[in-house]
DNA sequence: CTGAAAGCGCTTACAG
DNA sequence: CTGAAAGCGCTTACAG
């Protein structure tokens, strides 16, 4: 009853018009237009337009009068008309592989808060799978829909880069450097080094790695996994510890990926006394496997993650905080700056700080390893 | 260098125009307009418009020729012009308290997939805090920006309901029933009953509750917390077990909320042998506290959650799966149906199935409790 | 400081 | 089946 009345008879005291859109006839409320405000104020529509947008060239008196009348009749400029006239959408597109993943949720929320504070709308594009990614970049999906684009955790191919450039919009990448677009990210390599150094400083010499492999069909090729691996290796080598293939296991960036990799690590010729894991979610999986195997963390093995996931505290996981929400905020801010300033020559590249968060999944190895260096196969 | 050229000199072989928008002068690429296609095809623009949108009334031959030419010149109708002309935006607004929370990420992703498959854009509105919620509903934020609205986990006040109705758009609520709008949700009460019945069937008689309290400034007043509480009480009473105030503790829907509530439960006059927790995230917090207290789950105490969170498997948490992504999908589908069909009299209310997921956080109580019934203070 | 008019790029009765 | 014209509701040179 009520339902029907909503669809078919909009509240009175509002003019209504019948617009046939698509298959169904829908009712759309018609609210005050600029013309009505102009008539009431006894001025031209152009003056109303200028007054309401605080464009210079209107006397203070008329401007105020127009504003009052606009507020009175509840006038709001039609976004679509304004967009058509100016070409400015007041919208920022956020392109994300998968909104259901914790990492991207943090970024979306952080970036969204900044964008909303600037009065902009957020258009969310979720790639989903490789096919979705292809469709997004092939079609000119964004044309006329956004003023700027924030792209998360994607290593863009030449064609994709070109496709974005053709849009003519400012683009900022998150989690990935770029020669062409602005970027916000952390120094993954340095962060990984400090994680492994923490383990070294505790006295560990046999340190395993659970890395993020490249199997994800959407984020494939992105650099953080590689940089974290490189940081791990650098730290070991700098400490004079040779790399061991058996101690490096990889999996998808997920709990189950961590479980599988840790399981493989447990069947290594000689167990590591500590493991650096490429993401907290993988570390959760690793912790689960260790528990199942009857091993105690950190007594039998130390584990350090990467992210500072919401749940890493309750899991008591030592990890690297990479301020993900802050990265999202910084990326949005950079985008807004780019929108209002003519930027210089090089695309800006902002590096966000990381920090080690100590919890109780790391500790000195049980038996001080003095001979472990020479234990290789 | 490259950067500058992006902003100032769009790729050649594309016409370009200088549009002054706001403070800065920006370049916008001008791509083919409908007129160009019409000229090339030797027809009127109206024919092109009809041909490209598969509107009947164009001969097959001309339609195909026009489509070919459009593809050739890469013509795509300007979304803003089409919107202004039709009033249809091809966009659905998703209104969410906090995109960073796991629950909402699932919904956004599920609903988004369905909406994208239908060719629609997703406009994300994150309320953030009470002030954000107020702003959203006071201003006619959505006017002219969306064809339909999906509202997550909000118990709407009369004014907010009215504000949405004034928009004249189809609205679907998720996680909340409504007299006015369509809704998708689970039967929280029945699900809670089955959770508690599981504990009863295992032989538990002293069953505690960790409930979601109403402190969240945005989602305050939503019914799932109340329904789950009601289901808990119903199950106990149906089993002839009197309620005990000390065994009901509440907290914010978060890990720390679960920690605090479990801590209070641990200082109850007599410990429960099992606890039903209103959400998995709270259950994670509860598990953490129990571990810290040196108690073993499920030997000393059984814990059952609600959600089937991604991480509940690795936490080995028995829980109620409520198919959150499925709820998001169903809500989006309902919205699309509403958009294309003139719906009947009553707002549709779709109930999604829940199911018990058995893991190893629940087990029969250690000592069979025969006298516990009379242990109250 | 203000206004009349053109224009943004489509869609849709209306007429043929 | 096709076209000419009006209209969607703004903004912005241009002229005064």
Q: Do the Cβ atoms of B168 and A27 come within 8 Å?
A: yes
Q: Please tell me the distance in Å from B210's CA to the nearest CA on chain A.
A: 17
- Which nucleotide has its C1' atom closest to residue A50's CA? D11
pLDDT at A174 over 50: yes
* pLDDT tens readout for residues A23-61: 333 334 458 899 999 999 999 999 999 999 999 889 999
Query: Taken in order A233, A239, A245, A251, is the CA torsion positive or negative?
Result: negative
Protein-strand C interface by C-beta, 7 A: A 20-21, 42-47, 50, 56-59, 61-63, 81, 84-85; B 30, 33-35, 45-46, 49-50, 52-53, 55, 75-78, 81-82, 84-86
| A281 chain-B contacts, CB cut-off 8 A | 311
Query: What is the pLDDT at residue A344?
Result: 66
Q: Which residue's alpha carbon is at the shortest distance from the C1' of C4?
A: A44
Domains of chain A with bracketed CATH: 2-86 (1.10.260.40), 91-186+324-351 (3.40.50.2300), 188-323+356-374 (3.40.50.2300)
Q: How close are the terminal C-alpha atoms of chain A, in Å?
A: 78
Q: Please tell me the distance in Å from B123's CA to the nearest CA on chain A.
A: 5
Spans in chain B with pLDDT lower than 70: 1-30, 342-344, 368-377
Q: Do the Cβ atoms of A343 and B288 come within 8 Å?
A: no
CA→C1' distance for B45 and D6 (Å): 14
Nearest CB to A255; choose among B255, B310, B325: B310
Coil, strand, or helix at residue B338? Answer: helix
Q: Do the Cβ atoms of A180 and B6 come within 8 Å?
A: yes
| A314 chain-B contacts, CB cut-off 8 A | 255, 259, 284-285, 287-288
What is the pLDDT of chain A when averaged over all its residues?
88
Q: Do the Cβ atoms of B28 and A87 come within 8 Å?
A: yes
Q: Do the Cβ atoms of A113 and B128 come within 8 Å?
A: yes
Q: Which of A103-112, A213-222, A259-268 has the lowest mean pLDDT?
A: A213-222
| A22 chain-B contacts, CB cut-off 8 A | 88, 340
Counted across chains A and B, CB pairs separated by less than 8 A come out at: 226
Q: Which residue's alpha carbon is at the shortest distance from the C1' of C9?
A: B81
Q: Do the Cβ atoms of A113 and B125 come within 8 Å?
A: no
| B341 chain-A contacts, CB cut-off 8 A | 24
CA→C1' distance for B163 and D9 (Å): 23
Query: What is the pLDDT at residue B28?
Result: 41
* pLDDT tens readout for residues A192-230: 999 999 999 999 999 999 999 988 889 888 999 999 999
- Which nucleotide has its C1' atom closest to residue B32's CA? C9
* pLDDT tens readout for residues B254-272: 999 999 999 999 998 999 9
* pLDDT tens readout for residues B3-59: 222 223 333 223 333 333 333 333 344 588 999 999 999 999 999 999 999 998 899
- Which nucleotides of strand C come closer than 7 angstroms to any CB of the protein? 1-5, 7-13
- Which nucleotide has its C1' atom closest to residue B57's CA? D1
């Amino acid at each position: 009853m009520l339902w029907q009345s909503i669809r078919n008879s909009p509240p009175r005291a509002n003019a209504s018009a019948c617009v046939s859109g698509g298959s169904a006839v829908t009712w759309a409320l018609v609210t005050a237009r600029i013309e009505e405000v102009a008539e009431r104020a006894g001025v031209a529509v152009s003056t109303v337009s200028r007054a309401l947008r605080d464009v210079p060239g209107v006397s203070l008196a008329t401007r105020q009068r127009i504003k009052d009348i606009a507020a009175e009749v509840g006038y709001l400029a039609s976004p679509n008309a304004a967009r058509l006239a100016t070409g400015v959408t007041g919208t920022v597109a956020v392109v994300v592989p998968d909104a259901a993943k914790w990492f991207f949720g943090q970024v979306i929320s952080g970036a969204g808060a900044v964008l909303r504070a600037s009065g902009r709308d957020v258009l969310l594009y979720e790639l989903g799978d490789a096919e979705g990614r292809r469709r997004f970049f092939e079609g000119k999906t964004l044309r006329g829909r956004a003023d700027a684009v924030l792209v998360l955790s994607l290593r863009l191919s030449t064609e994709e880069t070109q496709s974005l450039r053709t849009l003519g919009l400012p683009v900022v990448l998150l989690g990935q450097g770029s020669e062409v677009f602005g970027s916000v990210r952390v120094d993954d390599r340095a962060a990984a080094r400090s994680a492994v150094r923490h383990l070294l400083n505790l006295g560990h010499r046999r340190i395993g790695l659970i890395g993020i492999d490249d199997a994800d069909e959407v984020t494939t090729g992105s650099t953080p996994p590689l940089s974290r691996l490189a940081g791990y290796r650098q730290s070991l080598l700098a400490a004079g510890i040779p790399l061991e293939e058996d101690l490096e296991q990889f999996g998808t960036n997920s709990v189950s990926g961590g479980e599988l990799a840790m399981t493989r690590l447990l069947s290594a010729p000689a167990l590591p006394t500590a493991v650096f894991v490429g993401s907290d979610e993988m570390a959760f999986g690793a912790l689960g496997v260790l528990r199942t195997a009857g091993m105690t963390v950190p007594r039998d093995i130390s584990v350090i993650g990467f992210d500072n996931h919401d749940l890493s505290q309750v899991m008591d996981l030592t990890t690297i905080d990479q301020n993900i929400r802050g990265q999202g905020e910084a990326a949005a801010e950079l985008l807004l700056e780019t929108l209002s300033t003519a930027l210089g020559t090089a695309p800006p590249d902002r590096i966000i700080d990381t920090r080690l968060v100590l919890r109780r999944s790391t500790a000195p190895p049980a038996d001080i390893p003095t001979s472990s260096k020479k234990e290789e196969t």
